[in-house]
Structure formats: C-alpha cells, structure tokens
Amino acid sequence: MQSDAPVFIVESAHGVRLKLTDGRELIDGMSSWWSVIHGYNHPRMNAALENQVRKVSHVMFGGLSHEPAIELTRQLLAITPAGLDSIFYSDSGSVAVEVALKMAIQYWHARGRPERRKFISLRCGYHGDTFGAMSVSDPDTGMHSLFSDALAKNVFVDRPRCRFSEACSDADIAPLAQTLEQHAPHTAALVVEPIVQGAGGMWFYSAEYLQKARALCDRHDVLLILDEIATGFGRTGKLFACEHANVAPDMMCIGKALTGGYLTLAATLTSKAVSDTIDQGEPGVFMHGPTFMANPLACTAASTSIHLLLESPWRTNIRRIERGLQQGLAPCRASASVADVRVLGAIGVVEMKQAVDMHHITRAFVNAGVWVRPFGKLVYLMPSFIISDADLAALTGAVTSVIKDL
Ligand SMILES: *Cc1c(COP(=O)(O)O)cnc(C)c1O
C-alpha cells in the first residue's frame, strides 16, 4: 500500500507462470497466497465455470438452493474430519472466522452460559483482518497493532515451542493448560491454526501439542475452533492439517485453496452438537446472512477443484515438492543472515535474522524470473501442487542466490 512500492501488471497466467504486460514471465512461488493449487488457467476449472455461467451465476441462498452448493456440501462433509456435520458458507476467510466466533458465542448463549464469550488463541497466529478475526490474531505479527484499543480483549498464549515432529512436553503445554485453568469459565473457544501458523509467523508445531490442546478443551468444556484456511486441501501433506494429530475440532474454517484460487469462497463447519444447540436456543437461527452466500460460481469452482485434487496424485506431489524444497533451500543455512530454514509439505520457509527490504527483494526476485513475496523476516515458498521439479529448482535457486546477495 506504500505509494513507492513496485507493482507488476499481470496480463495472463498459465500453469505456474505469470505473464507480465512487459512480456516477462515469472515462475509463481506463492500460489497467490496459498490458493491456486492446480495452477492458473486450468482447462477443467475454466470449462466448469463457463458451463455454470450459462445456467445461473448467482441466486439468493435464503429459501433457495442449487446443485453446486448441494454437491459441494456433499463433498466437503465426505473429506473433512468426522464429527463436522453442517456447513455455513461465506465470502472470505476472515468472515468464516467471524462466523465461527459468533457461533461459539451463540452456542454458549443457548446453553445458558452467556458469560462464556472470550476467546483464547496463540501468539503469532493469524486469522484475518476483520474485527473479530483481528481480536484473536497476534497483535504484533498480525499487522493490526493500530486497532488494538478498538478490539475485543481476548487472551493470548505463547506459540508452541515444540516443532513439528517433536514431542510436546509438559512444559511445552503448560502455558495453554494454565490459561485454560484460569480463563475457562469465561471462554467460549480456543482458536488455533492447526500445525502450521501462517501469515503470523510461518511456524510449524508439534502434532502432540494439538492433541493436548484438544484434551484440555474437552476437560474444560471449551470449544475448539481450527482455522484450516491456509492449511486445508493438502498443503501440509494431509488433506487437513489436523489429520497430522488425528484431532477433530468442534468448528473448522476453510477458504483460500477451497476454490483452487478461482473465486472467493470460505466456509465454517460445525459439529451437530454446536449447530443443534444454536438451532434450539433463542432466536432459533444463527444470526448471520451474507448476500453472496454459497454463490453458484464459487461453489462450482470449489467442487471442481476438490474433484481435481482427489483425482490427482496429490500426496506424491506434496512429498516430491517437500523434498525439492528441503534440498533446494538447504544451502540458505550457510548464509550468515539466515536464522532458520524449515519445510513442511509444500511450504518452505527461510527465516532471516532481520526484516528484509520488501521493495529491494521483490525486484531482485522479479529480475531472477520468479514471484516470491516475503514479509518481515520471512522469505517463503508455497508453490502450486503441479509445479515441475525444474521450476521448483528455479524457485529455490532464486531464493538461495537472492538471499546470499543481500
Ligand atoms: C488468509 C487467512 C485468513 C483470512 O482469509 P481472507 O480470505 O484473507 O479473509 C484467516 N486465517 C488464516 C489462517 C489465513 O491464512
């Protein structure tokens, strides 16, 4: 948003390549913020959307429904963790989080416990940019310290120290355990990104931590909301990141890759216990209704994207990309300016010791023929699942050489 920031105009995009108006082509390392998992301009996606445009592009979702929404709901309930039984569609990830928070509050209201309206979340978490979502995102790394005074006051716990594939000791879980002990009587839900914290720190944490968090929520009768907006649809090597821990939430938010990056759509899934309690309480219906709820084009894109994903050898692809990222980014460890290199699934992160100069580094990447968009200390790659080994090597090679020259 800074006025002197370089902006590159994209004329078209195909597969993993972005074509700029000046004729240059860039290999995309970002999947347009986790979302374009099958690559740009996919013939099956295009055909499905063209077909749906000719039937109905939009119709209100109150009192009316349509085949794309029915089909998408059927697919999502089949692939999401057991115990999630109903789906509320909205327009963006932030709104899906707002919806989850509102549902949690309405749930406790219906149970006669309206004082349970606080939320607990993790530091370095990111859940979106609207007011409720900001109130559970890290105030510093969540990029909204400016609004702190205007936000609901929630409770934050330090991010897990135990890394992915490490055990979670009693000391690792103690901060969360103590916080729940103290705040549970006023807490509606614990809100976390499972396994991978995204935009708030690109941190991968222990599956055992998530298991212990689930057990603590059960013990204290606190709802568990998992934000799978960044991690959902295969990115971490499982269809949903919570599968690494075999943990099922009471509510789950999805978005980003849901439509393969074609259109904006998100959803909040809930257990039957949550949806039934809300329906049976006052006023008998969940109080939220987006105008463009379950837009038929967006549902068609989502449904087609899920078909494409499940038909593809996505597990093999993610393992291949994981190996490519590990090998390709390993040389960054030798750089004095690098603090840490970590890879999980199709996510590769180089954490620098100091924040990078965004404008300088963006230009350096474009000159190297790749699209990589770091923030703060984090230079990271999350390519489309269809990327070839050669293009992946070009991406990691560019990251390695640009970092070396900083
Ligand atoms: C991107 C993101 C959001 C917000 O989604 P938007 O579609 O940008 O509103 C919420 N949570 C997580 C984990 C995200 O990565």
pLDDT band at 145; cut points 50, 70, 90: confident
Q: What pLDDT shows up at residue 192?
A: 98
Mean per-residue pLDDT, 24-47 = 98
- Cα dihedral sign, 30-32-35-36: negative
Quote the mean pLDDT of the chain.
96
Smallest CA-to-CA distance from 372 within 325, 326, 331, 333 is with 325
Q: What pLDDT shows up at residue 2?
A: 52
Q: Of ligand 1's atoms, which has the minimum distance to the CA of residue 92?
A: 7
More confident site: 142 or 2: 142
pLDDT band at 3; cut points 50, 70, 90: low
* Number of residues written out for the chain: 406
Q: Is the CB of 294 under 6 A from ligand 1?
A: no
CA 378 to centroid of ligand 1, rounded, Å:
17
Nearest CA to ligand 1 atom 11: 127
pLDDT band at 148; cut points 50, 70, 90: confident
Mean per-residue pLDDT, 51-72 = 98
Q: For the chain, what percent of residues have pLDDT higher than 70?
A: 99
Each residue's pLDDT tens digit, 264-292: 999 999 999 999 999 999 888 898 999 99
Q: Is the CB of 110 under 6 A from ligand 1?
A: no
Residue 1 has pLDDT above 60, yes or no: no
CA 401 to centroid of ligand 1, rounded, Å:
30
Mean per-residue pLDDT, 190-217 = 97
Q: What pLDDT shows up at residue 282?
A: 87
Q: Is the CB of 81 under 6 A from ligand 1?
A: no
Each residue's pLDDT tens digit, 113-138: 999 999 999 999 999 999 999 999 99
CA 40 to centroid of ligand 1, rounded, Å:
20
- Rounded to the nearest 10 degrees, how much is the dihedral formed by the CA atoms of 135, 137, 138, 144? -70
Whole-number Å distance between alpha carbons of 372 and 112: 49
Instruction: Tell me yes or no: is domain 48-310 CATH 3.40.640.10.
Output: yes
Q: Of ligand 1's atoms, which has the minimum distance to the CA of residue 93?
A: 5
Listed in sequence order, the residues at least 6 apart from 284 whose beta carbon sits closer than 8 Å to its beta carbon are none
Residue 158 has pLDDT above 80, yes or no: yes
pLDDT band at 377; cut points 50, 70, 90: very high
Q: Is the CB of 137 under 6 A from ligand 1?
A: no
Mean per-residue pLDDT, 81-92 = 97
Q: Which of 36, 98, 256, 373 to mutate to test the pocket of ligand 1 (most atoms within 8 A of CB)?
A: 256
pLDDT band at 146; cut points 50, 70, 90: confident
Domain boundaries, the chain: 10-34+313-405, 48-310
Q: Is the CB of 229 under 6 A from ligand 1?
A: yes
Q: Do domains 10-34+313-405 and 48-310 have the same CATH topology?
A: no
Bridge partners, 379 (sequence order):
350
- Cα dihedral sign, 209-213-216-218: negative
The CATH number that domain 10-34+313-405 falls under is 3.90.1150.10
